[in-house]
Amino acid sequence: MTPTAAKTLRATVASVPGALSLAVFLVICATALAAPILGLPDPADMAFALYQPPSAEHWLGTDNFGRDILSRVVWGAQVALTVAVGAALLSILIGSALGAIAGYFGGWVDGLLSRVFDIFLLIPTFFLILLIVALFGASLPLTIVAIALTTWPRSARLMRSQVLTLKSRVYVQAALAAGAPHWWVIVRHVIPNGIAPIITDGTILMGMAILTEAGLSFLGLGDQNLVSWGSMIFEGQRHLRLAPWMSIAPGVALLLLVASLNLLGDSINFAMNPQLRTRGGAPKRRATTAPPAGETAPAADTPILEVDDLRLVYHAGARRIAAVDGVSFTLPRGGSLGIVGESGCGKSSLGSALLQTMPNNAELTSGTIRFDGRAIVLGGKPVVENGRSRIDALRWTRMATIFQSAMNALNPVTTVRRQMMDALRLHKPGISREEATARIAEVFAMIGIPASRMNAYPHQLSGGMRQRAMIALSLILEPELVIADEPTTALDMLIQDQILGEIADLRERLNLSLILVSHDMGAVAESCDVVAVMYAGRIVEIAPTQRIFGNPAHPYTRTLIGALPSLTGPLEELESLPATDTAAAAAATGCRFAHACPAATDLCRRAAPPAVPLGAGHVSECHYAEDFAAEPSSEPHAAPAAAKEARA
Amino acid sequence: MRLLRYFLFRLLQMFPIALFIVVINFALIHLAPGDVSILLAGEGADPEYMQSIRESYGLDRPLHEQLGAYLGQILQGDLGLSFRTREPVIDIIAERIPATLLLAGTALVLASIAGVAIGAVMARRPGSALDTAVTTLSISLFSIPVFWLGLMLILLFAVTLRWLPSSGMVSIAGPREGLGFVLDVVRHMILPVTALAAVWLGQYVRLSRASVSETLAEPYVTTARAIGFPERRVMTRFALRNAMLPIVTVLGLELGLLLSGAVLTETVFSWPGLGRLIYEAILSRDTPVIMGAFLIMSFTVMLAALLTDLLYAALDPRVRL
Amino acid sequence: MTLRTPTLLAALMALPTLAMAETTLVMPQQDEPRTLSPGPSSDTGGHGPTSNIYSHLVVMDWGIVDGVAAYGDLAESWEVSDDATTYTFKLHPDAMWHDGEPVTSEDVKFTYERIMEEGYTFSSFLRDVESIETPDDQTVVITLNKPNMAFLPMMAQGAQWTGKIYPEHLWADQEGFDTGPYVNEPIGSGPFKFVRWDRGSAVVLEANEDYFRGAPEVDTLIFRTIPDANVARAEFEAGQFPYLPFNYAPPLAEAPMFEADPEINVVYTPSHFSRDLQLNLNHEALGNPKVREAIAYAMDREEMNRLAFNNSWTPGYYAGVSSLQQWINEDARFPEHDAAKAEELLDEAGFPRGDDGWRFSVKVTGPNISDCTAITEILVRQLREVGIEAELDRFDQSTWFSRIQEKQFDISCYFGRYGPDPDAYREHFSTDGARNFMSYSDAELDELAAEANTISDEETRREMYDRIQEIVVRDMPYINVFEEQKMSLVRPGWDGFAVMPAGFNKSISWFGVYGVTGPDDAE
């Protein structure tokens, strides 16, 4: 068993439905295999009194010919499993082969085969099977073939989409470059790597096959020389009044087997994609807290945002992952802060924590957030005043956000104008239609979206236009603080620069406070006064922009601004691997970056570094911060430009 | 106008598929073992009569000619005569369709509405104990063989408790018009609709749960929450509206399969619909009826798929017409 | 609602019956009529109504009565010439069409001649007819071109389907019997008159007060189309109609349940049919007479009867059925169950058990009717016990039939027919017999069977058929298993249905309800 399979199995068994269904399935399999040695009467033996209700002697009673029903149910399991395994295997075999060919070769081959898959979607399959079996005679092998003949397009579609993603992979390309023939590449590389979801789907196929066979048998089209559950129910129907147990027992058996297969498939699917079980959902009710006593009215120099010791933890199964692990910073009114780090460092989680839009499996465990001097989060809990959460009162009117990947951040089925209108009217219920339209036009003009595009749906806009629409949406209510989360990802370079330039421009014009979250030092350098570098949930260095490029005092910052490829490689996604596992973090006492740091010493591995203040708002969490700070980066004044090149 | 052009275009695309289905249908019946002419002429008929039957049904012509003639007939809406009753197949089928639509349509409406609602509620609390329980239950529901569920309902409510009729659509001596007739049909519908709807309900709960939870995880839902829309509005305007798209697709396909989906249920409850007709035709090897029913059903599925496409296009602005 | 509606319905139902003190009879039938003209072709849905609207010359159902060759319907009496070629029928003088015209011999001649001209199904029964003459209004003389002892019984039996007499004065101007106004608004001379046909649900008839044998007891007769056996059964149990004919009947195993129910009478009716096994003599093993005999020994009719028929069927040990007792040769008897003897015979025949315990393998098939299904299922078991590797090989009805016609079978259950005339043996066992699926051929039998059909002396005929039965039981190309018995259910108080003794000589065809009396009449 491969490690992945073992892991999937463990995860499957970890859930109650998974464990239960696997157990039921295995018991049924074992019983079916052990049928000959269980000491049951011959299932065809008409040896007993007719129509005996269940009793100590015949646990499930006897049928119209005096046969023992328990024994027939047990032997019937063999037939059901034969059909299930036979049909599923055959279907997967045909489907994977054709799906792989379609996906691999593409072009007209794909067109033709996809058409064939489509046709099968449009055929009433059960009826087709019925027709085949009715016309060609009822036998188990024919039934299996007929089921496979109508279900293979299901596997084929799955395999096709797998192959489409697989065929660009390096090893496939390498094999081809080495001169391997196509069929060999398909059989050796493509199918084995794409088969996992198809096999998972196999459990569903098995369930379908069993139900189909049972349905056929129930219509009198089962194999007559075999004891099948469907044909037992078929027989039982005629004796429903006299001997209801004849149809009850095989039906329960059918239900158990098919349900266990379907549940198992479901559980495996969840085990392979854990987020399927928990993603989405309504926002969780969280414990709240009252406003702190003695809050003073905000003064002109009150910072727009103060964050103190913020900690955000994700729950993934039994594990707890600290994505934000004690972050503090202050953003003055009108200021701009760039938060930089690689994916998985916790920067986006930090962004979501500020707006309280984090997913349900995330939780603030500690920390305070103050907006314009008033606490909106206290001790990790949202502050509620007069029955309303303070953050809710700030949303969009004072604090808005520009989400990454605007394609999905805008409602795809509503026009851009309509979305702005909805937001506007939500917060300004009294606004007239004309006023609203005028305001929208104003913002559009400001952002540089032609008025003709106002009624477009998001998908009808180019990437840059869409991102502008997102910015327009965020500005519609004239907020004081905008949190821009990777606003330029997935845009081409030219557009990125334009958008970043526009954000910087707007900030000045509207006196916005800005937090710009990005993986890209260059992007941040252009738009922000201060840059915070995050690594593994912590701000490892924070400094005014010029300073951080000129005298980076943390080795990680140096790797970020250098043109070097990352030393650590991208950290894995939070769901699959922790940025830091809190348990692990507690056990480890050293510097988080030590494992990848070229300058790490024993001290680094032994003790967590303190926050070293380097003056002028420059702080670095490194034992050797002062040494690094003293040593300017190679081309201090050209730093932003260099970082920009690095992006290219 | 755009919709109409799209419709025509899709209709054109359906043509080869329809042809393919016709050919499959024809091939299957003629590849099958057994001599059709014996059934026509009846047991022990004299050879002359048998020959005249063969001639009038064209059974003695070469296969390709039969296929050609068959295609020509279909184009004229002529599906031939039933071997058994000598009535036009199209009439026999048409006569059965309302009963099937009534049964399966009611079940589908009930199951889809309830299923989508339950699924959507569950999607709001993913991973909760209730969600796990409902998921497990809905999987169990669609794992039940519908005919067995039907039998059990009959056993409980018709045989044991005698509350409801076990089979048929109307009472033999019941009223033929007015409210009494409607009530009588409703009484007959309860058990078959329950059986069919229960199984479909499981499917729709699952589908809706998956679809809604997927949309709830979409960034635009986060945007909506960040903007500060009330949760109700987020749910309807953003989540459900988008989640309906895949549900509509499945519903459309299901709608097409409606006519055949009830073969087993109609057989158990002796519901006088198309499914039951097919079953009877297969048992008596009434070839024209089998071929006709298969064609009609396939065409219905295609039509439903077409309408679904149109509906989808209307619902989802991203679909390019 | 669920509780109230039935009560309401019941009240509504009860009302007309009480108020009018009329007898209304609802008869369930499986198929909707295609037309109400019975002549052109056999129409399972039309037989019920038309058999009660029209009269026949002579008629007989599928053999429920001992020793009767045919019942006179319009024919009050008849004479057969000694050489069995001339049949002279005297018609009932009071017979009248529903429009008031008298029924005459010309009507009979007109009807039969048109049937022959058009080649309708019934013409096969008139194949040997040379001429039909009408010396007077009440006399019909039919002359055959060769002697045929089976003519009268076969024609009587065929008449109940497609041999009904049409009024010449209404039909003479029409093409065939399938055009014109009277196709679906029939004018007949039978006990009931046509009232209306509600397509898709019912045909309504009313009593013919001027019927020549007296007005029927039932005032209103409704043939209701109920295609489904389950529905019919549920409605019967709900009291919607008083008679559930055998074609709807539930499994015999449930008979004890019905017998225990005081609200239901179970009626068993014997028939001319048997359930038997056809053995394909082309099969490697079955071609051996010893093997066939061994199978006869291996088979246990008593066990079958217990398992499948609640011990209510009569095992068939003779090459005949007891409803035609006068033709049975009791000296020609199939062996009784003896498994040891069967094994012995199989060893002798050169089919010892192999290493796997099997001697040879056979496939057992049969028509898709419940009793044959049960018989074959049990037979497979019994054959396997003596080392014959038997397997079921079932098909839908028509595939099965074409397979046995093409002799693609080993052993098949079959519904052999012995009546209404013993000429049926010729059909079954002579080399070119239409129902000889076994590839059986015996020169002596061929000769006897051909000759017996032309012999009018009953004693001589009987001797010939006795010999035929001896030969058949000696060679065993087939083995009789059971006599068919039909089970119908009737509500107490109702009598005179075709399947009941009181109906045998009054309702005279399967579909006739002339003799039916309801509970109100009994009081």
Tell me the domain boundaries of chain A: 15-273, 302-398+479-568+575-648
Among C307, C394, C395, select the one facing A65 at the smallest CB separation: C307
Residue with tokens 């040695």: A37
Binning pLDDT at 50, 70 and 90, where does residue C523 land? very low
- B118 in contact with chain A, both atoms CB, cutoff 8 A: no
The residue range of the domain holding B68 is 2-75
Query: Nearest C-alpha of chain A: how many angstroms from C395?
Result: 7
Examine the domain organization and report whether B226 and B125 are in the same domain: yes
Residue C66: its pLDDT value, please? 60
Binning pLDDT at 50, 70 and 90, where does residue C11 land? very low
Domain made up of C273-483: CATH architecture: Roll (3.10)
Instruction: Write the DSSP string, A236-271.
Output: HHHTTTT-THHHHHHHHHHHHHHHHHHHHHHHHHHH
The letter for the amino acid at C413 is C
- Would the pTM of this model clear 0.90, i.e. be above it? no
For residue C17, pLDDT over 70 is answered with: no
- B147–A218 C-beta distance less than 8 A: yes
The answer for B 254-273 residues in CB contact with A (under 8 A) is 256-257, 259-261, 263-264, 267-268
Tokens of B205: 């709960």
Task: Give chains near B: 3+ CB pairs under 8 A.
Answer: A, C
**CA pair distance C151, A226, nearest whole angstrom:** 48
pLDDT digits (tens, 9 = 90+) for C248-299: 877 777 788 888 888 899 998 888 889 999 999 999 999 999 999 999 999 9
Examine the domain organization and report whether B14 and B101 are in the same domain: no
Greater confidence, B151 or B8? B151
Cβ neighbours around A142 below 10 Å, total: 16
Mutate to test the interface with C, among B156, B172, B190 (most CBs of C within 10 A): B172
Q: In chain A, which residues have their Cβ closer than 8 Å to the Cβ of B257?
A: 124
Range with lowest mean pLDDT among A59-63, B53-57, C391-395: B53-57
Examine the domain organization and report whether B147 and B281 are in the same domain: yes
Residue with tokens 């309408």: B307
Query: At what angle are helices B287-315 and B89-123 packed, to 10 degrees?
Result: 40
Mean pLDDT, range A333-341, rounded to an integer: 90
Tokens of C136: 């007077």
Domain made up of A302-398+479-568+575-648: CATH architecture: 3-Layer(aba) Sandwich (3.40)
Among B126, B220, B285, select the one facing A280 at the smallest CB separation: B126
Greater confidence, B52 or C324? C324
- B129 in contact with chain C, both atoms CB, cutoff 8 A: no
Task: Please report how many Cα atoms fall inside a 13 Å half-sphere around the Cα of residue C341, on the Cβ side.
Answer: 14
User: Do A16 and A22 form a contact (C-beta atoms < 8 A)?
Assistant: no
Residue C13: its pLDDT value, please? 44
Binning pLDDT at 50, 70 and 90, where does residue A220 land? confident
Tokens of A87: 């049909």
H or E element in which residue C26 lies:
strand C24-29
- C231–B270 C-beta distance less than 8 A: yes
For residue A565, pLDDT over 80 is answered with: no
- A239–C253 C-beta distance less than 8 A: yes
Examine the domain organization and report whether B145 and B251 are in the same domain: yes
Among B217, B220, B315, select the one facing A280 at the smallest CB separation: B217
Query: Nearest C-alpha of chain A: how many angstroms from C107?
Result: 47
Q: How many residues belong to chain B? A: 321
**CA pair distance B76, B59, nearest whole angstrom:** 20
- C392–A224 C-beta distance less than 8 A: yes
Examine the domain organization and report whether B54 and B150 are in the same domain: no
Residue B56: its pLDDT value, please? 62
Name the domain boundary from B45, B75, B105: B75
Mutate to test the interface with A, among B148, B215, B308 (most CBs of A within 10 A): B148
Query: Nearest C-alpha of chain B: how many angstroms from C230?
Result: 7
Numbered residues of chain C with Cβ closer than 8 Å to any chain A Cβ: 250-251, 253-254, 257, 303, 306-308, 368, 370, 374, 377-378, 381, 391-396, 399
Average pLDDT over chain B, rounded to an integer: 82
Residue B297: its pLDDT value, please? 84
- C308–A225 C-beta distance less than 8 A: no
Q: In chain B, which residues have their Cβ closer than 8 Å to the Cβ of C119?
A: 49
Residue A568: its pLDDT value, please? 39
Examine the domain organization and report whether B146 and B182 are in the same domain: yes
Tokens of C359: 């001697």
What CA–CA distances, in Å, run from A647 to A465, A521, A563, C9?
22, 9, 8, 84
Pairing of strands C86-91, C75-80: antiparallel
Binning pLDDT at 50, 70 and 90, where does residue C200 land? confident
Superfamily for domain range A15-273: MetI-like (1.10.3720.10)
Query: Nearest C-alpha of chain A: how many angstroms from B237?
Result: 9
User: Do B122 and B134 form a contact (C-beta atoms < 8 A)?
Assistant: yes
- C9–B172 C-beta distance less than 8 A: no
- B126–A122 C-beta distance less than 8 A: no
DSSP H helical segments within C349-442, as ranges? 370-385, 397-405, 424-429
Name the domain boundary from B31, B51, B75: B75
Among A45, A225, A242, select the one facing C253 at the smallest CB separation: A242
pLDDT digits (tens, 9 = 90+) for B240-297: 888 888 888 888 877 777 776 688 898 888 888 888 888 888 777 777 788 788 888 8
Among C13, C124, C399, select the one facing B173 at the smallest CB separation: C13
Task: Give chains near C: 3+ CB pairs under 8 A.
Answer: A, B
For residue C504, pLDDT over 90 is answered with: no
Q: In chain C, which residues have their Cβ closer than 8 Å to the Cβ of B95?
A: 200
**CA pair distance C70, C76, nearest whole angstrom:** 11
User: Do C45 and B208 form a contact (C-beta atoms < 8 A)?
Assistant: no
Cβ neighbours around A265 below 10 Å, total: 22
Among C368, C378, C391, select the one facing A225 at the smallest CB separation: C391
pLDDT digits (tens, 9 = 90+) for C349-358: 999 999 999 9
**CA pair distance C483, C314, nearest whole angstrom:** 6
Tokens of A331: 């953003």
Average pLDDT over chain A, rounded to an integer: 83
- B93 in contact with chain A, both atoms CB, cutoff 8 A: no
User: Do B116 and B208 form a contact (C-beta atoms < 8 A)?
Assistant: yes
Residue B40: its pLDDT value, please? 52
Mutate to test the interface with B, among C231, C417, C432 (most CBs of B within 10 A): C231
Binning pLDDT at 50, 70 and 90, where does residue C21 land? low
Peptide bond into B317 cis (omega under 30): no
Binning pLDDT at 50, 70 and 90, where does residue B48 land? low
- B27 in contact with chain A, both atoms CB, cutoff 8 A: no
Query: Nearest C-alpha of chain B: how many angstroms from A368?
Result: 19
Residue B53: its pLDDT value, please? 62
Residue A66: its pLDDT value, please? 86
CA nearest to C453, candidates C186, C148, C228: C148
- Which residues, in sequence order, are bridge partners of residue C205? C194, C221
Query: Nearest C-alpha of chain C: how many angstroms from A79?
Result: 17
Residue A640: its pLDDT value, please? 44
Q: What is the DSSP letter of C5?
A: H
Binning pLDDT at 50, 70 and 90, where does residue A407 land? low
Reported ipTM? 0.88
- B143–A259 C-beta distance less than 8 A: yes
For residue C371, pLDDT over 80 is answered with: yes
Mutate to test the interface with A, among C233, C254, C305, C365 (most CBs of A within 10 A): C254
For chains A and C, CB pairs below 8 A equal 40
What CA–CA distances, in Å, run from A398 to A288, A392, A470, C280?
21, 10, 16, 95
For residue A579, pLDDT over 70 is answered with: no
Residue of A nearest to C394 (CA): A224
Name the domain boundary from B75, B108, B137: B75
Is residue B192 in a domain?
A: yes
Q: In chain B, which residues have their Cβ closer than 8 Å to the Cβ of C201?
A: 176
User: Do C115 and C123 form a contact (C-beta atoms < 8 A)?
Assistant: yes
Q: In chain B, which residues have their Cβ closer than 8 Å to the Cβ of C244?
A: none
* Domains held by chain B: number: 2
Among B145, B223, B227, select the one facing A251 at the smallest CB separation: B145
Greater confidence, A493 or B232? B232
**CA pair distance A174, A168, nearest whole angstrom:** 10
Tokens of A550: 């000129």
**Count H helices, E strands: chain A?**
27, 15
Mutate to test the interface with B, among A123, A130, A376, A407 (most CBs of B within 10 A): A123
- Give C447-452 contacts, CB < 8 A, sequence gap 24+: C449/C423, C449/C425, C450/C426, C452/C149, C452/C422, C452/C423, C452/C426
Examine the domain organization and report whether B60 and B108 are in the same domain: no
CA–chain centroid gap for C111, Å, is 24
